[in-house]
Amino acid sequence: MEKDEKRSLIAPVIVIILFGINLLATLKLSYRTEHKRVYESNAYIFVLVLILLIYLIRFFTEGKKSTSDLAILTFAFFLYWELAYKLGWVHNDLLIPSPEGLFHVFVEKPKEIREDVIGSVQLLFWGFLLAIVLGTVLGLLAGLVARIREVLIPVSNAVTLIPPLMFSAYFIMLLPSFRSAAIAVIFFAVFWPTFQGTVQRVGQIDKKIIEAAKTMGVGTFGMLFKIIFPYCLPGIIQSFSKSLRGAFMCLTGAEMLGINLGIGFFIEKYKSFADYRCVLAGILTVGVITTVIDILIGRVEKAIVRWHL
């Protein structure tokens, strides 16, 4: 038993050692090549400490070996990245910024990044909410009424083959603002898949349940929202994560085309300035946002499915 416990502690020890080597390389080694600017390392060190804390919490609460593997890979990558600068392997910091330079963006431009993130999340919220509500309601109705289904399914099959971003240029010209155009792009990205998925789930309901409800005098409204909707709800929640990923990709793409707010606009703006340090910071921000949203949706999904069961 003691041997097993010792073996289980090997991975955390390796993670802590790699963390310590990263700190030493960051604080003690100096740059051996000429760079446009040497940045403060406070933000980068904060990120390293944050990663270590998250790892330790997850390791001692979940105990998964994959958690240690991921932490080792992450710290090894950061160490290689740091040494590439400190030992002179990288001679051009324009396209490949140092770790300190990348994370220092969040110290230099906190207000701008915060406003762009809030702007993106607001657009995502309204576009996603409208698409989910209308797609679910119409999907329930089409799943129940064959005539509606036979009309809308061919239309949805055709529309879903077209990438939503292809509509963005038209939406920008048609709608009164870039903001509404971005919401429309998100709506298109989420509405039709939600509609199709809801119709499919309604079709999976046991016909005997529907017939029994009809014999008990349940009307169309009651059938939709008292019987069919509760049955389909776990499946609808499970589709949220995938829909959100697609919606966020369409959102950042739409922001790059013209809207003057949002993390996509942030990336496009600094790309035009050839400031790839900020571009990578924007891309990293998108990754963090989508990961956080995915985790939140996963927890909601588990709660709904547990309630359903």
Domains in the chain, please, with CATH? Answer: 2-108 (no CATH), 110-308 (1.10.3720.10)
Question: What pLDDT is attached to residue 1?
Answer: 44
Per-residue confidence band for 263, with pLDDT thresholds at 50, 70 and 90? confident
Q: pTM for this structure?
A: 0.79
Cβ partners under 8 Å of residue 18, min gap 6: 72, 75, 76, 79
Lowest model confidence (mean pLDDT) among 53-62, 159-168, 272-281, 296-305: 296-305
Question: What pLDDT is attached to residue 15?
Answer: 92
Per-residue confidence band for 59, with pLDDT thresholds at 50, 70 and 90? confident
Question: What pLDDT is attached to residue 306?
Answer: 60
User: Among all chains, which residue has been given the structure tokens 């600094």?
Assistant: 270
Question: What tokens appear for 168 in the block?
Answer: 């963005």
What does each C-alpha distance from 226 to 72, 140, 209 come to in angstroms? 50, 12, 12
Averaged pLDDT for residues 31-55: 82
Handedness of CA 113, 116, 119, 120 (dihedral sign): negative
Question: What pLDDT is attached to residue 7?
Answer: 56
Q: Report which of residues 99 and 33 the model is more confident about.
A: 99
Question: What pLDDT is attached to residue 307?
Answer: 52
Q: Report which of residues 127 and 243 the model is more confident about.
A: 127
